[in-house]
Amino acid sequence: MRLFLLTILFCFNPWVIAWAQTNSADHFFAAGNLKTASYSIYAIDAKSGVTICETTQKSLSTASVMKLLTTACALEKLGPDYTFATSLYFTGTIDKQSGTLTGNLILKGGGDPAFCSAYFIEHYSHCFDSWISQLKTLGIKKINGRLSLDLTSLPLATIPGGWVWEDIGNYYGTGVSSLSYKDNQYEIHLASPKATGMKTEISSLIPEIPGLKLENLVCSSPISGDHTIVFGAPGSYLQRIEGTIPAGQTNFVVKAAMPDPPLAAGQELLKKLKESGIDVTGQISKISEADQAPRILVGTQLSPHLKELIVPLNKESLNLYAEHLLCEIARKCSGEAITAKGIDALQQYLTDNGIDIQGFFPADGSGLSRSNALTSKTLVETLKRMYDGKFRELFFAALPVAGVDGTLKNAFKGTPLERNVMAKTGSMARVRSIAGMMTTRNERTILFAILINNFGLTSPEAGKLLESILLSFYND
């Protein structure tokens, strides 16, 4: 295989030369800026299970390939048709003559990761409207009370341990909530001067976040792309955005983490109630413990099925969805919907299915924590479990396809890997990973995982390295 790699891939990058000269994967990674890198590679024939490539199995940081384990466990523990429920109730009595409800509305979150998500716009398009319509059917014209948010289905602590300050204010660092809303994100719309090094201006926030104080330290730059970081703790309405965006932009969008998603959902519901002619006299409050007053159901909004939720989870690498699923796995297996119990359930799931968990140190369900560590063998054995199981089609169809969609949309284009690799990728500072399934030139199906930590390469160079290793499998 490696001799073929030398002749076919000589022009791809210099690391291939070093690898082929000694017929050693170790020497391959000893070249140039890879001398300090740690790596773990494992690949097998999907049908026979025969090992194709195996390096020394080191336990390494995973980044987002961790989502493969969470997805597999969720499909098998919760089932592909599992749904989450968000419900509206009211308490008290209705005066039929005046149409006044003397009591409260209660919006109860059920841990739905996708409630009003941009990925499922059509699914939730009539959610609030249908509830308001039902209130009117009940004859309610005014509510002499408040809107209470029931957040008891998940703990108030939303951020897994190990997530860093540079992440948690950004769109990908949002924590879970009983009432997650619009992916727990908001948009910062920026305008930048044509001159570089100048301060930008915030033109709008979508949706508006009442009470938010956002300090803008972003400057214009000759460098393309988004190079901003949003700093802000969960629940805090003091945030700061800094970094650069390209010069001469009239509407440059940066996504950030909502400080309080349940409150944002409640504010939207109150807004729509007012627009429809139903006045609520009280303010929004949160219920930390279940309200004992009898409730009458107005309506329930179910989430898309789990088999639909795992598609954006993996194709777009949504940390929020993965953490929600881990909490729901915990609820199913232990009755406590907390990250720690989800981790216990995930480890037990792998052990029960004979998957090697030596070196497996999970810290969350998404891979955002740098404390996560595992081996490539653990990943591939999980892939093999799914390949041999009844959820094969659902599991692998949710993965990005090289050159087609998701996080692999622009990867491996113009190479034989295009459309022949479906895999989950992961990246963070000094971490690159990829794991999934591929079809070789001989129509052979391979399950693989590649983890690389602490390399001295640029991001494009790291991508070329992964490409070369995968091409060696393809041409084998």
**Where does the chain hold its CATH 3.50.80.20 domain(s)?**
83-303
- CA-based nearest residue to 185, from 117, 121, 268, 86: 117
The predicted pLDDT at position 450 comes to 96
CA atoms within 13 A on the CB side of 323: 28
Beta bridge partners of residue 425, listed in sequence order: 434
pLDDT higher than 60, residue 7: no
Residue 385 and residue 455 in contact, taking contact as beta carbons nearer than 8 Å: no
The predicted pLDDT at position 5 comes to 40
Beta bridge partners of residue 218, listed in sequence order: 243
The predicted pLDDT at position 287 comes to 81
Residue 178 and residue 153 in contact, taking contact as beta carbons nearer than 8 Å: yes
Rounded average pLDDT over 155-183:
91
pLDDT higher than 90, residue 181: yes
Q: Does domain 83-303 have CATH number 3.50.80.20?
A: yes
pLDDT higher than 60, residue 330: yes
Which of 185-194, 289-298, 330-339, 346-355 has the lowest average pLDDT? 289-298
Q: Which residue has the higher pLDDT, 264 or 27?
A: 264
**Angle ∠(213,219,223) on CA atoms, nearest 5:** 135
The predicted pLDDT at position 29 comes to 77
pLDDT higher than 60, residue 225: yes
- The span from the CA of 196 to the CA of 415, in Å, is 37
Rounded average pLDDT over 291-316:
94
The predicted pLDDT at position 110 comes to 96
Query: pLDDT for 97-122, tens place per residue?
Result: 999 999 999 999 999 999 999 999 99
- The span from the CA of 272 to the CA of 127, in Å, is 11
pLDDT higher than 60, residue 25: no
Rounded average pLDDT over 240-261:
97
pLDDT higher than 80, residue 129: yes
Residue 52 and residue 473 in contact, taking contact as beta carbons nearer than 8 Å: yes
For the chain, the first-to-last Cα distance in angstroms comes to: 5
Q: What does the CA dihedral 328, 334, 335, 336 come to, rounded to 10 degrees?
A: -70
The predicted pLDDT at position 290 comes to 58
- The span from the CA of 419 to the CA of 404, in Å, is 7
pLDDT higher than 80, residue 18: no
**Where does the chain hold its CATH 3.40.710.10 domain(s)?**
2-80+307-474
377, amino acid identity: K
pLDDT higher than 70, residue 275: yes
Residue 306 and residue 73 in contact, taking contact as beta carbons nearer than 8 Å: no
pLDDT higher than 60, residue 466: yes
pLDDT higher than 50, residue 59: yes
Per-residue CA distances from 207 to 32, 150, 286 (Å): 48, 22, 21
CA atoms within 13 A on the CB side of 396: 25
- The span from the CA of 450 to the CA of 351, in Å, is 22
What's domain 2-80+307-474's superfamily in CATH?
Answer: DD-peptidase/beta-lactamase superfamily (3.40.710.10)
Percent share of the chain, pLDDT over 70: 92
Q: Which two tokens stand for residue 265?
A: 């959902």
Rounded average pLDDT over 276-294:
84
pLDDT higher than 70, residue 9: no
Residue 65 and residue 449 in contact, taking contact as beta carbons nearer than 8 Å: yes
**Angle ∠(446,450,455) on CA atoms, nearest 5:** 155
Residue 364 and residue 326 in contact, taking contact as beta carbons nearer than 8 Å: yes
